[in-house]
């Protein structure tokens, strides 16, 4: 026999009137961007890298196996760039 889940009270719901219609019920705004907003921003910022890898991978499967080398090099460069960006090495250093 299992114990029932504890009931958590629902957060307060705010209502905002929608133009030319009834009431619009919305959830309260959370602090910071949502996961969807982060994902859309990431894809938008990395669109060039993603399309470059997709093109090289497509050429690898359709034209020649030698494009696998290009795909590998592009992926390695992207990996190094992301790793350095995460560490903060890509920031311009102030000279003395």
pLDDT in tens, the chain (96 residues): 455 666 666 666 555 555 666 666 666 666 778 888 888 888 888 888 888 889 988 998 999 988 899 889 988 988 898 888 888 876 665 454
Looking at residue 63, its pLDDT comes to 92
| Per-residue DSSP letter, 46 | T
Looking at residue 34, its pLDDT comes to 82
Looking at residue 96, its pLDDT comes to 47
Whether residue 57 lies inside any domain: the answer is: yes
Whether residue 4 lies inside any domain: the answer is: no
Looking at residue 92, its pLDDT comes to 60
Domains: count for the chain: 1
**CA-CA-CA-CA torsion sign (10, 16, 21, 27):** negative
C-alpha count within 13 angstroms, C-beta hemisphere, residue 56? 16
Instruction: Supply the range of the domain harboring residue 81.
Output: 46-89
Whether residue 64 lies inside any domain: the answer is: yes
Whether residue 65 lies inside any domain: the answer is: yes
Whether residue 22 lies inside any domain: the answer is: no
């Amino acid at each position: 026999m299992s114990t029932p889940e504890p009931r958590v009270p629902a957060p307060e719901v705010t209502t905002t009137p929608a133009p030319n219609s009834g009431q619009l019920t919305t959830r309260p705004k959370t602090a910071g961007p949502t996961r969807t907003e982060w994902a859309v921003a990431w894809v938008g910022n990395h669109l060039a890298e993603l399309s470059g890898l997709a093109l090289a991978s497509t050429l690898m499967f359709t034209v020649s196996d030698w494009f696998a080398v290009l795909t590998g090099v592009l992926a390695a460069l992207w990996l190094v760039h992301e790793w350095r960006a995460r560490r903060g090495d890509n920031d311009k250093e102030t000279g003395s």
